[in-house]
Amino acid sequence: MYRKVLVPVDGSKKAEKAALHGAELASKMNSELILFHVVPSLPPYINNSPDRLSEIQQAIMDEYSKQGMATLTQVKDNLAAYALNITTGIAVGQPADEILKKIKETECNLVVMGSRGLGEIKGYLMGSVSNRVTRYAGCPVLVVR
């Protein structure tokens, strides 16, 4: 039923836990597992800065991308025991928007994600990314706490 399972990961413990749930389900259902990371684009006040900042901007984005790829590799390696068909993907943009795009593009049948991520603000049950994805995704979303 859930041929393709999408797990968005941001490098947080909750996302890693979600990946374990996703892997467990995928192995039971013989599904393909897609790990996906979004490198958050820089806020406009940095983006719109004069040219002399563009090198710094680029360096920040390069560092974020490197970290993102390391996160994907680490989560994938962590799931090696499941012997699953795992693919990874990375995009740059607003995390929730890019995840929603990826859901459509891959035609995945299930999203498994963390309730919270790397955000500092405690007290909310769900972060803004999990909130938006559960609201707008066209497929079932399993939110792992």
The residues, ordered by sequence, that sit 6+ positions from 103 with a Cβ below 8 Å of its Cβ are 6, 111, 133, 137, 138, 139
DSSP tag of 41:
P
The answer to whether residue 34 forms part of the interface with ligand ADP (CB under 6 A) is no
The residues, ordered by sequence, that sit 6+ positions from 86 with a Cβ below 8 Å of its Cβ are 32, 33, 34, 35, 76, 79
Contact partner at residue 32 from Mg ion, ligand ADP, none, CB < 5 to 8 Å by partner kind: none
For Mg ion, the binding residue among 37, 117, 137, 141 (CB under 5 A) is: 117
Pick the stretch among 24-32, 44-52, 54-62, 115-123 that binds ligand ADP (CB under 6 A).
115-123
Give the footprint of ligand ADP on this chain (CB under 6 A): 8-10, 12, 14-15, 18, 36-38, 40, 95, 113-114, 116-119, 127-130
Give the footprint of Mg ion on this chain (CB under 5 A): 117, 119, 127
